[in-house]
Amino acid sequence: MIIGVPKEIKNNENRVALTPAGAKELVKRGHTVYVQHNAGEGSGFTDAHYTLAGALVLASIEEVYGVAEMIIKVKEPIEPEYKLIKEGQLLFTYFHFASYEPLTKAMIASKAVCLAYETVEKTDRSLPLLVPMSEVAGRMAIQKGANYLEKPLGGRGILLGGVPGVLPAKVLILGGGIVGTQAAWMAAGLGADVTIMDVSLQRMRYLADVMPANVKTMMSNEYNIREMIKDADLIVGAVLIPGAKAPHLITQDMLKDMKQGAVVVDVAVDQGGCIETCKPTTHENPTYVIEGVVHYCVANMPGAVPYTSTLALTNATLPYAIQLADKGWKKAAQENPELIPGLNIINGDIVFEGVAQAFNAPYVPVNKYLED
């Protein structure tokens, strides 16, 4: 198969979807890998690293999209890329369709095959291609939150861990999955007073078992959330309903009950955000203030730590990329059911129910495309 790896063009997105090691594995299997000039630069990989691994370097993004049967990327295509995508081309990347209708419409119009990292799902319901970046973003959420709680950056000026004789800050985490768990470890390690809210009792039982004593769990419902936000210094938004738009657990009217200078880091912003007032921001301009509450809503947080994130992401994606390259998307999905929920849009049809629901659009069961 002919595989293309473009350079990411989203703001401060320094990850790359394939490492030279990954390129070598694909080339070894007889595939042709084209990498855009400088695609790996932000992650520490030069064109020469890719060439030595057997890949071919192309000067422009147009050439990469023009030649490739499968595009492997990190972030969803953004407007300048829409016109480059070809009918029947396989796109293997994050999409987060339910949060952005223009992208969904553009991919329908392209008639490409959109296989989304974030909805590839194992039989135990885990999301193997989201997990590594959720681990990064969960850890970063506390670094960012601690930072923006500092007075010069707009926060209320509280140290997460406190000091002897002074109480620590209160950290509220909405959603105790991967992001929430990693955020809790970090906040707890710094000595904060941490509460994780989830709707899954099973998950909270697990968390109660493994977390240190400064992490508590509480059922997530509107009543409890309204109580808890009054005292919170830092709130991390970490809920997920896979493939669907995130529920707004904190609505705009609730912000007035929060402390002035409190910080919200809505990691779930890529699925629309679980705090109503969260709108996607960039690493260049990451925060804004509403009702005295600092909002941090960067949709590609891991892009800022590419040395960690590129390796973590590609460790997880490469085995799937190899299956797709070796067999083509249809046979790969027929033989590995984990790939089936990753299929979101095929040939202009929305084949993932949560995306169709988000836009009240027609849904076509994916089986239509999987039968021989």
Footprint of ligand NAI (CB under 6 A): 118, 130, 133-134, 137, 174-180, 197-200, 203, 220, 238-241, 247, 249, 267-271, 299-302
- Among residues 250 and 325, whose Cβ is nearest to ligand NAI? 250
Binding flags for Mg ion, 156-195, as an x/- string (CB under 5 A): ----------------------------------------
Q: What is the DSSP string of 326-367?
A: HHHHHHHHHH-GGGGGGEEEETTEE--HHHHHHTT-----TH
CB under 5 to 8 A by kind: which of ligand NAI, ligand CC(=O)C(=O)O, Mg ion, none does 239 bind?
ligand NAI
**Tokens at residue 362, please?**
């027609």
Q: How far is CA 26 from CA 29, 33, 35, 212, 258, in A?
A: 5, 7, 13, 43, 52
Residue nearest Mg ion by beta-carbon distance: 273
CB within 8 A of 285, min separation 6: which ones?
A: none
- Among residues 90 and 250, whose Cβ is nearest to Mg ion? 250
Gap between the Cα atoms of 283 and 263, Å rounded? 16
138 near Mg ion, judged by CB under 5 A = no
CB under 5 to 8 A by kind: which of ligand NAI, Mg ion, ligand CC(=O)C(=O)O, none does 273 bind?
Mg ion
> Is 37 an active-site residue?
no
> Is 96 an active-site residue?
yes
**Tokens at residue 294, please?**
């600092």
Q: List residues binding ligand CC(=O)C(=O)O (CB under 6 A).
A: 75, 94, 130, 133, 270, 300, 302
> In the chain, how many H helices and how many E strands?
12, 15
Cα angle 18, 113, 98; round to 5: 90
**Tokens at residue 58, please?**
């192309």
- Among residues 200 and 357, whose Cβ is nearest to ligand NAI? 200
Gap between the Cα atoms of 262 and 127, Å rounded? 31
Phi, psi of 274 (to 5 degrees): -100, 5
Binding flags for Mg ion, 252-291, as an x/- string (CB under 5 A): --------------------xx------------------
| Number of shown-chain residues binding Mg ion (CB under 5 A) | 2
Binding site for Mg ion (CB under 5 A): 272-273
Residues acting as catalytic residues: 96, 270
